[in-house]
A and B are shown apart, each in its own frame.
Chain A
Amino acid sequence: MEKSHSKHEWRANTLPAMVMVGPVTLVLLFLVVAPLIFVGIMSLCKTDEYYNVVYDFTLVNYAKLISPDYLKIYLQSLLIAFFTTVICILLGYPFSYIIARTKSKKKTLLYMLVIIPFWTNSLIRIYGWRTFLGSSGWLNSLLMLLHITKEPVDMLYKTGTTILGMVYCLIPFMILPLYTAIEKLDTSLLEASSDLGAKPVKTLFEVIIPLTSSGIFSGSIMVFIPCLGYFFVSNILGGGNTDVIGNLIERQFKSANNWPLGAALSIILILVTLVLVKIYQKLGGDMDSLGV
């Protein structure tokens, strides 16, 4: 009896479970967990004079992290991420609301139209912005043609331009969860609220926003965190004047060649991510609404 039990158990559960879950486990262990642990180790390493990594324990990289120059960039980075997130909510919420609530048969098309631009490489699109905003770009040509300005307006290499690029790259990650949350909203609740005497604005704040807050939260996470790392946006549009933490890390790995310091900077990003995700979960956010 006992024997047949385990045999059945093996055929019905253990073997298929191993075959199915094994590969994904290996990928996660070797390509996600191990590299991240290794970054932690590297952040505690020294470098020799040729910038080779020496596996010798030190906290010197972490000491460098609190230099005023870096602190300024962390702050700048957080501000850029913050404004990007806020703008994404302000633009994305009404937009998602309108397309999610539309009775038009073209609803799917309207939704697809949000995604289609993102099939073009993000670098190219950011470059498109640069072309559009540059001193001899379309916008300046238009402004001069209409005699609004005489000289081309310098629109690149400003914090605002970087934020524009970030908003552009990340707004779909705000729109998609908002769309999902708003579409799930039961219309009869709005009717009930109105029936009970609430004016539209009251209904918005009392019913609609609380019920779709999950979308706002997950959208914010999906916008805020990547913003800290999108170094190429500030490279192309900010021209080095509007660095985010990602730029600092990129520089250590690509030009300054101080990997341990870059690793320590990455640890900051990991910690910020963990804190934000914890807050998200505290607010009742569902991890599954991130990502898809």
Chain B
Amino acid sequence: MGHIVELENVNKIYGTNHVVKDLNLTVEEGEFLTLLGSSGCGKTTTLRMIAGFEEPTEGSIKVEGESIEEKEPFERDVNTVFQSYALFPHKTIFDNIAYGLKMKKVPKDEIKERVKEIMKLVQLEGFEKRYPSQLSGGQKQRVAIARALINKPKVLLLDEPLGALDLKLRKQMQLELKRLQKKLNITFIYVTHDQEEALTMSDRIAIMHDGILDQLGTPTEIYESPATKFVATFIGETNIFDGMVSLVNEDDVQVTIENGFISGKAEGFRFGEYITVSVRPEKMKYSDTHVHGFSIVGTVKDYVYVGSVIKCIVALPNGNELKLERLAGQSLPEIGSYIYPYWEKEDAVLIHSRENSIFEALDNITLA
């Protein structure tokens, strides 16, 4: 497996708006890479720079080791599936799908054969003569995918392709896309704001936030060891504690927070450092008495039933709330009772806070 797409120090600035900041990203051949982030984080701009619709203000983009910033979109061997599908309303489904091949001046017989083949692959047989306005959202989606895939692009770029579909159809299409990608062995770069979608489909996820690549990793890495507070909160549900390292032991630290102190297993943290601790609701435990390393106390406020899972809301003295998650049927404390929340130290994720960089910078100034 080689590097198929390489972005080096890519920056995009619109006027005073710095949309993508110093982005370095390498996409491996044949992988399913998702750019994940909330709207305005720069993920779509990144995709559009790879497609050639936008030019990077700075930096280089390579496909198979070759610089492509000079190339027009129609000169690039990448294809895009658009969020709005962008089907040509005045062309039949056949003509829509055949468009790329027609532009490459592929012989008519071959076009016919390949369109037929791809339409079968995306289960659209029989729709050749229809117009886009006569199709449902899901069918339009398949056409958009077929239209891009038929050109056998080196990379397929997908810009929130399932955003307009309802939940059930979206789930189904997620699996189907994944199947297509495996079968055709084409590199997919997929943009979405839906973290669940990213976790289900991707080989690797790149999480972007305010134009910065926060973390790049497999879904498991991202879920289990988020690198920033943003990643921790963006992916899945979690309990966040901001505090300061107040005690450094051999392989764990104690963190002072507003409501007391908590502990986690970690290395490489300094005394006095600002820190964020993230604990998933399903990892939360509780006790009737003090647990070593923890001093927080809370009141059980409410239960929320979510399918087979029960969420227990615990209020802390300062008004913050914690969530505990249990499978239905497991025992839980009564509403109104006092509990001592805690967790196994290795279940907590400790994240260096961004605020530290400010203090470090200040330190450096005084030292100098």
Contacts and interface: CB of A to CB of B under 8 A. Distances in A.
The answer to whether A and B touch directly, with their CB atoms under 8 angstroms apart, is yes
B70 A4 contact: yes
Nearest to B59: A1
Contacts of A12: 72
B69 interface: yes
Contacts of B58: 1
Nearest to B60: A1
A7 B55 CA distance: 12
Interface in B51-109: 55, 58, 69-70, 72
Binding site secondary structure of chain A: helix
A8 interface: yes
B67 to A, nearest CB: 10
A252 B55 CA distance: 60
Contacts of A4: 69-70
A148 B275 CA distance: 101
Nearest to A5: B55
Interface string A1-28: 1001101100110000000000000000
Nearest to A1: B58
A11 B70 contact: no
Nearest to A12: B72
B72 A11 contact: yes
A66 to B, nearest CB: 53
Nearest to B58: A1
B11 to A, nearest CB: 12
Nearest to A7: B70
A5 B59 CA distance: 12
Binding site secondary structure of chain B: loop
Interface residues of A, number: 7
Contacts of A7: 70
A7 B69 CA distance: 12
A5 B70 CA distance: 8
A5 B57 CA distance: 9
B69 to A, nearest CB: 7
A168 B72 CA distance: 56
A15 to B, nearest CB: 13
A4 B70 CA distance: 7
B68 to A, nearest CB: 11
B193 to A, nearest CB: 28
A4 B55 CA distance: 10
B90 to A, nearest CB: 21
B317 to A, nearest CB: 47
A8 B57 CA distance: 12
Contacts of B70: 4, 7-8
Contacts of A11: 72
Nearest to A11: B72
Contacts of B55: 5, 8
A1 B69 CA distance: 9
A7 B70 CA distance: 9
B50 to A, nearest CB: 15
A3 to B, nearest CB: 10
A10 to B, nearest CB: 12
Nearest to A8: B55
A11 B58 CA distance: 19
B230 to A, nearest CB: 32
Contacts of A5: 55
B76 to A, nearest CB: 13
Nearest to B57: A5
A1 B70 CA distance: 9
Contacts of A8: 55, 70
Contacts of B69: 4
B138 to A, nearest CB: 30
A144 B69 CA distance: 86
9 contacts: A1-B58, A4-B69, A4-B70, A5-B55, A7-B70, A8-B55, A8-B70, A11-B72, A12-B72
Given A5-B55, A8-B55, 7 more contacts: A1-B58, A4-B69, A4-B70, A7-B70, A8-B70, A11-B72, A12-B72
Interface of A: 1, 4-5, 7-8, 11-12
Top 6 A-B pairs, shortest CB-CB distance = A4-B70, A8-B55, A4-B69, A5-B55, A11-B72, A8-B70
